Amino acid sequence: MEDCIFCKIISSNSIYKIYEDNWTVAFLDIAKDVDGHILVVPKKHVKNIMDCDTDTLCKVMDAVKRISNHLIDCCAYEGVNLLNASGESAGQSVPHLHIHLIPRKKKDGIDAWPTFAGAKYELETILERIKM
C-alpha cells in the first residue's frame, strides 16, 4: 500500500532489520522507548488482526516465536512482552498489522502491563454479551 509507513519501511534498506523471511520482517522500533523493542510485521499489507488471513497471521506469530526464542537463548533476556493494538479505538497508530516484542529481564523496571480501572459488569453479564 502506497501510503503505509510500514510498507515503505519494508521496501527500504534504511531499517534496523533483525529478522526476515518470505512473509515477515522484524526491525528495531526507532522510537527507542525500550532497548531491544522490536516490531514484527507481515510483508503483505494487512490493516490489523481482524483483517489478517490465517496463513499470514500464523507466519507472523511463527516469526514472533523464533525471535523470542533467540532473545532468550542467545541474547541473555529472560522473557518477552507481546503487545498489539488492533483498531484505532484500541490505540493502533499505524494501520499495518504489527506485534511489538519487548525483551525483558528481571527487575528491568519496565512496566509493560496497563493499569485497568476495573470491570463494570458481572462476569455472567459479559459472558452473555460476548460468548461465541
Q: In what order do the strands lie in the sheet with 79-83?
A: 17-20, 24-28, 38-42, 99-104, 79-83
Residue with cell 484505532: 88
**Which residue shows C-alpha cell 519487548?**
102
Q: If you write DSSP's letter for every residue of 83-122 in order, what string do you get?
A: E---SGGGT--SSS--EEEEEE-TT-----SPPP---SS-
Please tell me which residue in 37, 96, 98, 100 is annotated as part of the active site. 98
Asked whether the beta carbons of 77 and 36 are under 8 A apart, the reply is yes
For this structure, is 98 an active site residue? yes
Q: What positions carry a catalytic annotation?
A: 98
